[in-house]
Amino acid sequence: MDGQMRGMMRGGSQKDGRTSLNNPPMMREHHLSIMREHLEAVTEITGLVSTGDYDKASRTAAEKIGLTPEMRRMCDMMGDKQFRAMGIAFHQSADRLSEVLKKKDPTAALAALHETLNLCVACHASYRE
């Protein structure tokens, strides 16, 4: 176990440098439930690619994590401009993923999925509720 992990287990003595969104409780709950849906969506996409169901994987990417009007509305509600931009960029990457999945090429699909997941990780590194 490294020092950082030990620090975290001692109860957060490690400094958290992420920016807080300071969302009101209802918005926080709503945001976190959407986050859990995003995780479900990428899990579903991974499973569909593994069984060769690229068409369904493509639809899932566009409908569940793509830049739908609903997702754009959610991102627009976030007060932090930089956060909003990262959210939009993430949803746009999911639309690209949806397009790539139509090619039914596993290497290209993994590369596009990796790009999308990197944007999940980047935002989590910068922001917290």
Residues that bind ligand HEC (CB under 6 A): 21, 32, 35-36, 38-39, 42, 65, 83, 86-87, 90, 119-120, 123-124, 127-129
**Residue 103 beta carbon to ligand HEC: minimum distance, rounded to whole angstroms:** 21
**Residue 54 beta carbon to ligand HEC: minimum distance, rounded to whole angstroms:** 19
CA distance 100 to 84: 24
Environment class of residue 31 by beta-carbon count within 10 Å: exposed (0-12), middle (13-18) or buried (19+)? middle
Distances (CA, A) of 27 to 23, 87, 92, 95, 113: 6, 16, 23, 25, 28
Of residues 28 and 103, the one with the C-beta less far from ligand HEC: 28
**Residue 108 beta carbon to ligand HEC: minimum distance, rounded to whole angstroms:** 18
Who's near 82: CB < 8 A, 6+ residues apart? 126
**Residue 2 beta carbon to ligand HEC: minimum distance, rounded to whole angstroms:** 20
Of residues 30 and 104, the one with the C-beta less far from ligand HEC: 30
Amino acid type, 46 = T
Of residues 36 and 81, the one with the C-beta less far from ligand HEC: 36
